[in-house]
Amino acid sequence: MTAHTPGRFLVLDGTDGCGKSTQIPLLRKVFEQRGFSVVQTYDPGGTDIGEQIRKLLKYDAKGKMDVHTETMLFMASRAQLVSEVIRPALAEGKIVLCDRFVSSTCAYQGAGGYPVEEIINLARYAIGQTWPDLTIILDLPAEKGRHRTGVRNGQNHSNSSVHSAEDRFDSRSLEYYQRVRQGFLALPKYYPTPVEIVNTDGLSIEEVHQKIAALLEKRNWF
Ligand code: TMP
């Protein structure tokens, strides 16, 4: 599935508030200390065109968006990210660390009623053979993640432009997030490339980091 050697492509994913955006810079440091060249990015977004789609998805769209429309917008942003950032970085032998990817569409739009097999097929069209070498899901009960994002509400992704508008995704119910979590937990059964679930419940930032680093060590990433 992954036809992009010599680089390596790692995705961190999970429900909102799972801690992936905190863990990615810590991982980046470890890779860099070991001499790897790293490209850190995020999905949706990560390119000029992707940023415009991200803004539309998160803030600007008015009215209720059909799940098919939403899914294709996420895929469109991702197609741009793969062709402009991820594929060239991998071709140069870099490590790509990406915050969310197709795994999020499976969990979120899957929870919204889009069949996951169709999401995978759509992704094959959008990203070709550029699938992650490994996807790490940081697992945590949905209510705990929601509690964390509640603290962060009103702030934006560190890489995005400042926004005062309401985040369209913040108004979804706890029940929806519980389905999203189940969607992430089901990924290893059908995702085309390896997925590891890391239980982070009750662990400190450092403990989660050590768990991820140990997992990567075991899989010969360092
Ligand atoms: P974030 O990048 O700030 O986490 O916000 C992205 C939001 O979009 C988050 O709630 C997860 C959601 N999302 C999807 O619903 N589908 C997707 O494919 C992706 C990448 C994100």
Distance from Cα 99 to the centre of ligand 1, integer Å: 10
Q: Whose CA is nearest to atom 7 of ligand 1?
A: 169
The per-residue pLDDT for range 137-159, each reduced to its tens digit, is 999 999 999 888 874 544 444 44
pTM: 0.93
Could you tell me if the CB of 169 is within 6 A of ligand 1? yes
Handedness of CA 166, 169, 173, 177 (dihedral sign): negative
Question: What are the residue ranges in the chain where pLDDT is below 50?
Answer: 151, 153-161
pLDDT of res. 160? 45
Helix, coil or strand: residue 44: coil
Could you tell me if the CB of 74 is within 6 A of ligand 1? yes
Q: At what angle do helices 174-186 and 142-152 cross, to 10 degrees?
A: 120
Distance from Cα 74 to the centre of ligand 1, integer Å: 8
The amino acid occupying position 188 is P
pLDDT of res. 161? 46
Could you tell me if the CB of 108 is within 6 A of ligand 1? yes
Q: For residue 101, which atom of ligand 1 is closest to its CA?
A: 20
